[in-house]
Structures are given as structure tokens and as C-alpha cells.
Homo-oligomer: A and B are copies of this chain.
């Protein structure tokens, strides 16, 4: 038996196999902090389901690990290379195979970029609802593997809620089809749901049937500035108490506003120390926006009277609020979620942790879902980076997680456990529940070649 590279050469075209140093480096990591850097043995770019099957079979025969990869925008290290692995990129499988406007469904290959599907759907008055802020680059396959959330998930649900059926290549190279082409279907166990969010550890997703929703014809956006973050968080609860369901409800703290100003030359931080962005959509959008404006003003917000277009621009800015920085050992973004009623408490806890550990903090939140993205960081140079700074950063991370769990929260609302969040998983899930998942993993992948050391 030859090396895995020889085996792969036998089943792929020359342009589909890359072992160049530059490519191996490029495909070695996603956007998460790296804790155990490994170079893959090769990167492969299958273009058909049969090629994916052939690659998986070759790896199964050789006992080589496979790290599936979409666009590599993941922020938990799910697509980080591991020891003696190949990276299997789905990026060339990027065709929309069917768009059925009457069925309100689409069938896509995994490498289709989220925004591309949405553009195609928009021509028919439809949308693919789950819209991670990375929608311009992340793939539907990656979204499925992480059960991605997004801005308008407050109203329209997460990826799981839009996926009807999957084609999956299993660890032995065989292909199965799960789910149904219909909106509803309950025949047998929900294998589709099991694959969604499994981060490439149970199978390679090679085809996805999604349900599309109606593109709202009317959208209203309200921008509410607050003197501080906690009052803004209280605004989220006030909208809920008014029993208005916005499509989008995003919360940005002062640190985020300052950063956006730095990047875009805007004047957000001069207008408030926190910003709540609320978007209503559909036939009732105007009436809902009226209620939202009213309750937010009552809660102490300065609600912009500016045109909706201006507020919409702020939503666009928010979509880019991660900026261009990539997390690393000095800077880590998190993804906790808490029950909505605890939003204000949790924000207070975060601020206390940042202050106690003397680390920088900024927070954006999909607040409608109680899903917060705090980022803690320390300066890379200068007086602040003393011997203890790295420890204090880690302590802040740990404490912010513990606080979320203590409030009935979770360590990951949408980014997945990947590699980076494994260290906290035991705090959320007791051993018996983890054991069950390991046994499911064993059942699907007895040799452990699919994305080992991730997710569970």
C-alpha cells in the first residue's frame, strides 16, 4: 500500500490534490485560536459526490484522518488540521442543484456560499433564512455542520430549522440520504438533525435540501443608543414583554462601537455607549417598529428618527463587527447563550470579570436569542503584557463561561465546540451524556477518522 498521497492521486485529478507548503499552511487552520498547530498531509478538492466517496474510502483504508472544510470561517477550530490528516475542502462543490420556487425549497452542494443561495432565492421572492454574519463567505455545508445561527434567527430559527434533507458520505465511503423533500416528515429517527451541528465528526455533508422562507417586502430598522450596556440589554427584554417578534435584535457595547468607528470612520461611540439594533419585517413591520420605538424610548434610549436606510447601514456595519482580526492567543471571542431574562445580569457579570482580570472586553450579541459574543483580549505589547496577562486572559474566559453556566446558559450558542471549547464541555454536560455521544460517534465512525478530537 502506497502513501495516502499516492492513493489520493489515483482517485483525483492533479488539480484536486495540493501538497504545496503554502496550501498546507493556508488550509491548516480556521479563524479560531490555535492550540495545537498541525500541517495536513494534503488538501483535496473533490468536485463530485463520487470523488468525496473515493477520498473517504482511501483515507479509511489507510487510517488517515479527514478534516472537512467549507470556507474555514469557523471560530472554534472545527476545521483545524489534526495529526496525520488530510483536509477535505468542499469549496469546489458549489452548485445550486435545484431551486424550486413553488416547493419553496432548494437543493445545494455543500460548498455553496450562503450569500449565493440567498441571491438566487431572492429572484423568486424567497430567502434562505439563517444568515451568520459570515454569510458572504461561509458555506451552507459549514453552516449545516455547525448548525449556524445568524442575525435573523431570532424570528426565523437556526440552520437546523431550515434543513429538510441531507446527502451524507459516511466514514466507510458509503452515501446515505436522510430526511424528506417535504416541509414535514417524521418517518424514523431524525438522522438529519443528528448530522446538523455534528461538526464533520459523523459524516461529510455532500448535499443539502433546505426550506426557503418568504423574503419580506417591508423591513423597518430601529437604532437605539443607550448611555450604558446594561440599560440596552434591558431594552431587549422590554421588546419581548411587548410581545413583538423582531427579525433582528442585535446589541453592541461601547468597545464594539469604538472599534467600528476606528474601521469605518463613523461616529457611533459619540452617540452612545451601547447600541441596540432592531429590525422588524413583513406586513406588520411598520406597526411593530412603532411599538419597538415606543418601548425603547420609555427605557431610556435615544431612538434615531433617521430614515430606516441609515439604521440599515448600521445593521450592515454590525455584520462586520468582528472586524478583520482573527482570534489568537491574545484575543478570544466567545459564544455563550443565557436565558433571556438573565441578559442584564450576565452583561454585568462580564463587565465585572473584565475589570477584575484587567483584560479588555467588547461584546456583540444576537440579543433576541440571548446569544452573546464577548471578546476578551490583552495588548500584544507595551506595559500591559506582563507575565500574568496571559493567565488573566484565560481566567477571564473561564470565569465568563462559569457565569453563563451558572445562569442556566450554554458554552456555545452557535459556533460549535470544535477544538477550542472542548475544555469547557464537561462543565456543561455530565459524563453520561458525553458517553452517549461518544457511542454515537463510534457507531458512525468506528475507526475515528472523521474530524477526530472535535465537537464532543
Contacts and interface: CB of A to CB of B under 8 A. Distances in A.
A240 interface: yes
Contact of A184 (B104, B282, B414): B414
Given A103-B340, A103-B341, A341-B102, A185 B437 contact: no
Interface stretch (A6-14, A283-291, A318-326): A283-291
Given A283-B287, A371-B183, A429-B187, A160 B340 contact: no
Given A189-B437, A213-B245, A369 B413 contact: no
Contacts of A366: 184
A83 interface: no
A100 interface: yes
Interface string A431-456: 01110110110011000000000011
Interface in A318-377: 337-341, 366, 369-371
B240 A369 contact: no
A243 B288 contact: no
Given A243-B215, A283-B284, A337 B183 contact: yes
A102 B285 contact: no
A382 to B, nearest CB: 36
A443 B439 contact: yes
Given A177-B433, A182-B369, A338-B182, A188 B408 contact: no
A198 interface: yes
Indicate the size class of the contact surface on chain A.
Answer: 35 or more
Interface stretch (A20-28, A145-153, A265-273): A145-153
A411 to B, nearest CB: 6
A98 to B, nearest CB: 11
Nearest to A215: B243
Nearest to A409: B182
Contacts of A283: 244, 282-285, 287-288
A146 B341 CA distance: 30
Contact of A190 (B160, B180, B282): B160
A79 to B, nearest CB: 15
A288 B216 CA distance: 12
Contact of A194 (B161, B193, B213): B193
A415 interface: yes
Given A185-B413, A410-B185, A432 B174 contact: yes
B104 A186 contact: no
Interface string A276-297: 0000001111011000000000
A189 B198 contact: yes
Interface string A299-329: 0000000000000000000000000000000
A248 interface: no
Contact of A187 (B178, B215, B284, B410): B410
Given A182-B339, A443-B443, 19 more contacts: A103-B340, A125-B243, A176-B430, A180-B337, A180-B409, A186-B197, A186-B414, A186-B415, A187-B421, A187-B428, A188-B417, A188-B434, A190-B194, A190-B197, A190-B198, A214-B245, A215-B243, A283-B283, A283-B284
Interface of A: 100, 102-105, 125-126, 146-147, 149, 153, 157-158, 160-161, 174, 176-178, 180-191, 193-194, 196-198, 202, 213-215, 217, 237, 240-241, 243-245, 282-285, 287-288, 337-341, 366, 369-371, 408-417, 421, 425, 428-430, 432-434, 436-437, 439-440, 443-444, 455-456
